[in-house]
């Protein structure tokens, strides 16, 4: 099949094949970038919760050392306020920026899947047009060549379009699941921070 697809890059399907190759290259770049970024953004919430809780009880939150992950940025925004309600509002505002950082470019992968499918379908239609053109008043040898060329174009573009779309859709699902997990942990830490603040005020 690989040989068949490589051959299609030099026939009537070349335009569609190169377009799909460009779409695939873009998807690969997004997957690599998001994988590296989401891995760097990962932060174990339990040690952070314990550190924040201990700092609040000791009254030393301003000096708490935090990193640059979205979770720690949200916590830092909350720790800037002593009032739990204001801290929650500050973390809600910071979480909007955090979500933008976490979800950035993930939606492109589902778009790539749709575009690849449509480009493949367009190539299929073009190949069928070539094939049906052989049914006209043409010589038998030319008819056979045109039918073969049209069918080959239709099949190659369909196959390559799906070959690009399916992994892109799978990558989107994985990236979205990782983003939801990270954002859920951010919300969990923010909630625990506010609870710790309220507990500290009552004690």
Question: 155 phi and psi, to 5 degrees?
Answer: -70, -40
User: Average pLDDT of the chain?
Assistant: 87
Question: What are 102-134's pLDDT values in tens digits?
Answer: 999 999 999 999 999 999 999 999 888 888 776
Question: What are 142-197's pLDDT values in tens digits?
Answer: 667 777 777 888 889 999 999 999 999 999 999 999 999 999 999 999 999 999 88
CB of 194 closer than 8 Å to CB of 84: yes
Structure confidence at residue 82 as a pLDDT band (50, 70, 90): confident
Strands (E), 79-160: none
The domain ranges of the chain are: 2-202
Alpha-carbon dihedral angle through residues 166, 172, 178, 182, given to the nearest 10 degrees: -170
Q: Which of 200, 198, 186 is nearest to 60 (CA)?
A: 200
State the Cα–Cα distance between residues 26 and 11, nearest whole angstrom. 23
Q: Which of 75, 38, 73, 49 is nearest to 182 (CA)?
A: 38
Q: Which of 170, 160, 169 is nearest to 121 (CA)?
A: 160
């Amino acid at each position: 099949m690989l040989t068949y697809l490589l051959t299609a890059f030099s026939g009537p399907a070349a335009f569609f094949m190169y377009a799909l190759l460009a779409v695939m290259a873009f998807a690969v770049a997004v997957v690599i970038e998001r994988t590296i970024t989401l891995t760097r953004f990962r932060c174990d919430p339990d040690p952070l919760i314990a550190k924040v809780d201990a700092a609040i009880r000791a009254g030393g939150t301003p000096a708490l050392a935090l990193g640059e992950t979205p979770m720690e940025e949200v916590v830092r925004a909350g720790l800037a306020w002593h009032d739990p309600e204001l801290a929650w509002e500050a973390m809600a505002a910071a979480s909007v920026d955090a979500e933008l950082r976490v979800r950035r470019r993930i939606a492109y992968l589902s778009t790539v899947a749709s575009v690849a499918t449509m480009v493949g379908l367009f190539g299929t239609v073009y190949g069928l047009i070539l094939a049906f053109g052989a049914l006209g008043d043409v010589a038998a040898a030319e008819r056979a060549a045109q039918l073969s060329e049209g069918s080959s174009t239709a099949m190659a573009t369909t196959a390559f379009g799906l070959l690009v779309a399916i992994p892109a859709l799978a990558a989107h699902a994985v990236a979205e699941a990782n983003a939801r997990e990270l954002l859920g942990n951010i919300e969990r830490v923010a909630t625990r921070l506010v609870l710790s603040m309220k507990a500290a005020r009552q004690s």
